[in-house]
Amino acid sequence: MLTSRDILSFNFYNYGEPFTGSLSGRRYRIKQEKEETGRDENDKPVYRKYFDVAVWPEPLSYEATDAALIEHTEYPFTEDGYEAVLEYLNAVLAS
pLDDT tens-digit profile of 36-68? 999 999 999 999 999 999 999 999 999 999 999
Q: What is the pLDDT of residue 2?
A: 94
Query: Under a CB-based contact definition with an 8 Å cutoff, are residues 69 and 57 in contact?
Result: yes
Residue 3 lies in a domain: no
Which residue segment(s) compose the domain that 58 sits in? Answer: 10-94
Q: Give the percent of the chain with pLDDT over 90.
A: 97
As a whole number of angstroms, the distance between CA 51 and CA 87 comes to 13
| Cα-trace Rg, the chain | 15
What's the total number of domains in the chain? 1
Q: What is the pLDDT of residue 94?
A: 84
Query: Under a CB-based contact definition with an 8 Å cutoff, are residues 31 and 37 in contact?
Result: no
Above 90 in pLDDT, residue 17? yes
Residue 83 lies in a domain: yes
Residue 2 lies in a domain: no
